[in-house]
Each structure stands twice: as structure tokens, then as C-alpha cells.
Amino acid sequence: MKPMRVRKLKEWLIEKTILLSGIFSVVFVLLIFLFLLREGLSLFRGESVIDFIFGKSWYPISDPPRFGILPLILGSLLVTLGAAAISVPIGIAAALYIAEIAPLRLREALKAGIELLAAIPSVVIGFIGMITLGPWIKNLFNIPTGLTALTGSVTLAFMAMPTIVSIAEDAITAVPRQYREAAIAMGATKWQTTWRIVARAARPGMLAAVMLGIGRVIGETMAVMMVTGNAAIIPTSFLQPVRTLTATIAAEMGESVQGGPHYAALFAIGIVLFVITFLINGVADLYLHRSRR
């Protein structure tokens, strides 16, 4: 009977290891939040949360330093809105084409192409944006620098596109066949079916796709840091340099003193980003589940 018992013990150990590995994902999310709080909360000993979020000036190294992130929040918001305005219509249209219209072979090729676009490292996209798009926008609008919110929006639009297209495409493909057959049988053209029936039925999934795309844009760091010009001022137009929340962390962490207020302020920005993306992803996930049902 002994080997049997050893085997049982081994199985028990393996099953517990598997359970533990599953739980690790939860642990990591908690740890990320805890460590952001641990390093970031010390800022609020000398600074109120209201002053931090709604403060109009970000002068982290002047004396006394000012840690108001409103310009950074508005910078992120402006770039994100611009990127969404470009990528949502194009992305949804491309998803409709790939899911409903493209012949099978073309469809596979297009999907592979979009996967490759998603794979291009953000620093490479930033590099290309900086070197080609920047000068082009500078000449087009005749402005002193091409590194502007608009440049950031266009660059980020391409980075949001793969997320939007692939998730929206999944949602469109998941619409039951009978919907299409019924519409065609009633005499609708393929386009009428696609637009009025299929696109409408896939709406919750498309909404999730848009939200996840926006989540990706808000969190994007390297490309946006390279193409937006990084001026921490409250933006008034698309044609001026802005600085986003993410770029501020990436650009300034190296020069901050560990444990000092500037260091804590950068972690506090991390908390803001974490909460924003947590909410966006949570809500998008709800919509995805609804669309699957």
C-alpha cells in the first residue's frame, strides 16, 4: 500500500502547486498596488490629494517643489482623445471588413499583419514617429516643433489599432449565423446586414474593444515620450508639446532621489495610472462577458 500513499502525496503536492500558481496572479495585482502605495503615499504627508490632482504646476525640482499633476492629466487626456478619434472609426471599419467581407485567405493575411503591428516595440514606433511624422507635421502646420500632442495622437492611434481591431473582430465573428441568414432572407444586401444587424449585435464587444484600446493608449510610455515634446504645461491646442503621466515617470525617475518627495510623487502618478487602467479594464471585461452571452 505504501507506493500508493506516496503517489497520493505527490498528487496532493502537485495539485496544491497548481492552485498556488493560479492564486499568484491575484497576489501580483495586490503586490503592485501595495508597492505603489508604499512608495507613493509618503507624498501626501506634506501635500493634499486635491493639490496633487488639481494643482496647475508641475515643478518637481524647483524650491519649494510643486507637485500638481493637472497639466500631465490633461496632456494624457488630450493625446488619448486624439488617438481615439483616429483609431476608433478606422479600427471598427477594419474589423468589419476583416470579419465580414474579406475572403478567407486575405483575412488570415490581414490578421497576421495586424498581429505584427501589435508586436512592433513601442520604442521603434516612437523612433519612426519622431523622425518621419514629427518633421512632416512641423512643415504642414508651419510650427516651431513637430513634437506635439497631435504627433502623439497619430502615433498612439496606430498602437491602439491592433487591440481595437482584434477584439472588435472577435465580437463580430461571435454574432450568430442565424442573424445574417435571416437578414439576407428578408432581402437585405450584404452591407445592410453587416451594418444594421451584425454591427449592432456586436456593439457590447466593440465597446469593450474601444475601451481596451484606450487603456492601451493611456498606459503607453516610450513612444509618447519620444514624440510629444514633453512640456509639462496645461495644453490649449493639439499643435503644442504636451507631457503625459507615463512619460513623466519614465523621464524623471532617473533624476529623482530615492525616498524623496519627487520620487514619491512619481509613484503617486503610478497609483493614478494603476487606478485608471484598473477601472477601464474591469468595465471592458464586464462588456466582453455580456457580449459573449
Q: Which of 62, 142, 178, 258 binds other proteins (CB under 8 A)?
A: 258
Binding to other proteins by residue 121, rule CB under 8 A?
yes
Interior/surface letters 176-186, b for 16+ CB within 10 angstroms, e for the rest: eeeebeebeee
User: Which 72-91 positions form the footprint of other proteins (CB under 8 A)?
Assistant: 89-91
Q: Site size for other proteins, by CB under 8 A?
A: 86
Kindly identify the residues of this chain, within the stretch 143-162, that bind other proteins according to CB under 8 A. 158, 161-162
| List 6, 9, 115, 139, residue binding other proteins (CB under 8 A) | 115
Which CB atom, from 128 or from 231, has the smaller least distance to other proteins? 128
Q: What angle do CA 230, 214, 202 make, to 5 degrees?
A: 165
Mark the segment that binds other proteins (CB under 8 A) among 47-55, 64-72, 174-182, 246-254.
246-254
Cα distances (angstroms) measured from residue 165 to each of 46, 81, 138, 213, 253: 45, 18, 30, 9, 34
Q: Please pick, from the candidates 9, 61, 85, 93, the single residue that binds other proteins as defined by CB under 8 A.
A: 93
Q: How far is the CB of 236 from other proteins (least distance, A)?
A: 25
Q: Does 287 bind other proteins (CB under 8 A)?
A: no
Contact (CB, 8 A) for 66 and 59 = yes
* 252 counts as binding other proteins under rule CB under 8 A: no
Helix (H) or strand (E) holding 254: none
Tell me: does residue 11 bind other proteins (CB under 8 A).
yes
From the CA atom positions of the chain, what is the Rg in Å?
24
Give the contact letters, 207-236, x = binds to other proteins (CB under 8 A), - = no.
Answer: -----x--x--xxxxx---x----------
Binding to other proteins by residue 117, rule CB under 8 A?
A: yes
Instruction: Tell me the closest approach of the beta carbon of residue 251 to other proteins, in angstroms.
Output: 9
Span 54-73, contacts to other proteins by CB under 8 A: none
Q: Does 292 sit near other proteins (CB under 8 A)?
A: no
* 219, 273 Cβ separation under 8 angstroms: yes
6, 85, 139, 189: residue in contact with other proteins (rule CB under 8 A)? 189
Letter for the amino acid at 215?
G
Stretch that binds other proteins, among 32-40, 53-61, 134-142, 233-241 (CB under 8 A): 32-40
Contact 220, 79 (CB under 8 A): no
Q: How many CB atoms lie within 10 A of CB 174?
A: 13
Task: Please give the Cα distance from 263 to 38 (Å, whole number).
Answer: 12
Q: Is the dihedral of CA 261, 262, 268, 272 positive or negative?
A: positive
At closest approach, how far in Å is the CB of 257 from other proteins?
13
> In Å, how far are 87, 265, 285 from 130, measured between CA atoms?
19, 28, 34
Can residue 186 be called a binding residue for other proteins (CB under 8 A)?
A: no
Q: List phi, psi (to 5°) of 233.
A: -125, 155
Per DSSP, which regions of the chain are E strands?
A: 58-59, 66-67
The one among 6, 9, 15, 53 contacting other proteins by CB under 8 A: 15
6 near other proteins (CB under 8 A): no
